[in-house]
Structure 1
């Protein structure tokens, strides 16, 4: 991480902010924004809150309105959900590519266990939702809401347990959450795309093809791919395919190989050594203004050092703070405003129950159950440090489904007219209850399991795990 910071320092002003706040976990900002939204929605500021979110967002250049959707100007909420959230899905796409190229999903053997677990964590919540809400056709639009696991939020809560959590268990949770994200993206692309306009869609796909060709030619400048992301998004937002898919598709073609090997920096280092050696000579005085040769050598070396880092890794590092400290808090603030006063006697209360049960119970049963069956059938093996007991604990964390669940809820109920607010409110309530309960219970249960395993010499305390970690270094 420090290597990337050195190589890309100055390219991301939000890094200064993240250091200034002392390394506070970004999930704190997202959760605080959600709480603030609930307070606004249930106070005398409710009218102001609604008017801000419904305010139009205009950016018109040469007669073209950039923030237009379905032929009208976007509201603030739509701007956050359909424009800013593209950055979130772009970062998800980069993460998916990294895991598929050189991570937990880089081979069939590595991917089997988390994929099977994720399938259980998708199927069981949906089945429980259907069991609870099988009579109301409007409610059934939200059947996919409890299928998602929030990777950032769940890992942040897991971090409360410290170093006692085996690295392999963290990777298991991360990998299954990535598979969940892939499933969520497919759901958005297939079920929440309407009225496809072929001309902008084809133009968007051609732009992605151009990005792919750039990647094949070795173009590694992140600026090029950010510009292409804006262009692809502008086409997709008019195409009927949900605009956030643009972020994922473009991320998948960003090159993952560095264009320079570290050993090729030897000559650059030699040139810098000459400048350093001259500064050590007796009588050397630091100049206020460096000579052109020194500046030129420094700039060339800096650019070449940056090219030893994968463009996927650089862009993930650049985008991450904007997503976690700006986009997701804004998303949480604009989408978490539950008006409790409108809930009394609501016929949509079943949605809240179905979502909460789906997240907390469905995720736990699905992830653990499918993992247990797959290992007993000898389809897969548990990795060192991972036990049935701590898999059960980590399965509870799977119910932390905040971000993507809220996004799916908004897509599910935003197009049903006057009843949308009632069902959406209930879905949001179920998401918050399911997420909070899963987080709290998950910490308590897994903490007890890890303490017990430590005493018994299992999990992270096992000889097998210690040997595995030693051989991985």
Structure 2
């Protein structure tokens, strides 16, 4: 008798492993960018990034083009986890969902308290958690951290990414081109119809996704959001009576295909292109500027307080359960790791302060400083903290 078919149970594990390893590569890329930006190589570094390749400079191809694949990957992860994964039911969504909400609200408040006027547009910069960096730090702790906290952190970061996508779509779009938006909406409608009528081949979705990216680029809505819209239309249905490698749904196949290039090429390349801050050329007051402090403290204090307080409140009200075998100290250590806000925070910085190199540099200093301290303190606390119960033996 044939065994019942299930959704691939190892997908989350492979995702966590790829993201944690990719986080270490991202750390190296960010460190390299900082070194280059503060040496005589900085001139060549800037020249390469601003060299035109066709209609766009290299930096924009990375930020608007390659990062669309990152958003496509994030969108597919959100969809898969919401349908048949760790976020498939409301009880599973409750703890990471409420913690993510607190982790976005409190950092924004911290930033606005320090930036009430001209620079308030950057309020969303410290609201994001970098899943690659955070899981990369968590992976260094090995079995000291219960598996439930790894799942909690991954789910929280996924919901956090969804919030960041919504923020970008609503608050960081430029002047809109109605004809291009209408054309983009028509393409999305065709993609949704293809899903509805059971088209399971990937190439029609990818071809229309490329058209959608061009239309979004011209419309004034950030082009990378094309990746999210495309992800939501990729089918999550399985083939019947297909060979093993084709039994996976189109979404699973594309997600698996993108995992390695996104984690080890696209995100590190984005970090290399955007993390370079020429500290030596900045005025000393930039280190204590309102934007620098708002972003840095928003990540370090706002994230930890928002995530931990919301999680504890949800647990006390009976809305969610404490992660299995985890202590409150470990939960707070994980909340500290949520203050690592690298990739998405850098991305929002470019949208919040377009063309203002000084404000961008201040925000980047805050991101790097707040993320470094959050990671360091979170790692140190989790290294010495102990869970409430020993893990159950494996079967």
- TM-score, normalised via structure 2 length: 0.91
Match of residue 32 from structure 2: 36
Counterpart-to-counterpart distance in 1, 2:212 and 2:261: 20
Where does 1:61-460 land on structure 2 (aligned, <5 Å)?
73-134=55-116, 136-137=117-118, 139-260=119-240, 264=241, 304-346=243-285, 349-415=289-355, 420-450=356-386, 453=387, 458-459=388-389
Please report how far the alpha carbon of residue 117 of structure 1 lies from its aligned counterpart in structure 2 after TM superposition.
0.5
Please state whether the residue corresponding to 1:425 is helix, strand or coil: helix
Q: 1:430 to 1:256 in 2, by over 3 A?
A: same
Please report how far the alpha carbon of residue 388 of structure 1 lies from its aligned counterpart in structure 2 after TM superposition.
2.1
Counterpart-to-counterpart distance in 1, 2:81 and 2:304: 24
1:55 to 36, 51, 55: 51
Cα deviations across residues 107-129 of structure 1 (Å, max 9, x unaligned)?
11111111110111111111111
Cα deviations across residues 137-171 of structure 1 (Å, max 9, x unaligned)?
1x212111110001122112111111332222111
Aligned residue-pair number:
379
Q: 1:23 to 1:394 in 2, by over 3 A?
A: closer
Asked if 2 retains the 8 angstrom alpha-carbon contact of 1:397 and 1:438, the reply is yes
Please report how far the alpha carbon of residue 331 of structure 1 lies from its aligned counterpart in structure 2 after TM superposition.
0.8
Counterpart-to-counterpart distance in 1, 2:89 and 2:282: 48
When Rg is computed on C-alpha atoms for both structures, the one with the higher figure is 1
Gaps of 5+ in 2: 1-6, 9-17
Asked if 1 retains the 8 angstrom alpha-carbon contact of 2:23 and 2:133, the reply is yes
Asked if 1 retains the 8 angstrom alpha-carbon contact of 2:20 and 2:132, the reply is no
Counterpart-to-counterpart distance in 1, 2:21 and 2:311: 30
Alpha-carbon RMSD across the aligned residues, in angstroms, is: 2.1
| Larger displacement relative to structure 2 (230-239 or 218-227) | 218-227
Match of residue 13 from structure 2: none
Counterpart-to-counterpart distance in 1, 2:310 and 2:204: 43
Asked if 2 retains the 8 angstrom alpha-carbon contact of 1:93 and 1:248, the reply is yes
- TM-score, normalised via structure 1 length: 0.76
Please state whether the residue corresponding to 1:446 is helix, strand or coil: helix
Cα deviations across residues 294-342 of structure 1 (Å, max 9, x unaligned)?
xxxxxxxxxx323311221111111111212221122111111101123
Please report how far the alpha carbon of residue 26 of structure 1 lies from its aligned counterpart in structure 2 after TM superposition.
2.2
Please report how far the alpha carbon of residue 24 of structure 1 lies from its aligned counterpart in structure 2 after TM superposition.
9.5
Counterpart-to-counterpart distance in 1, 2:303 and 2:25: 25
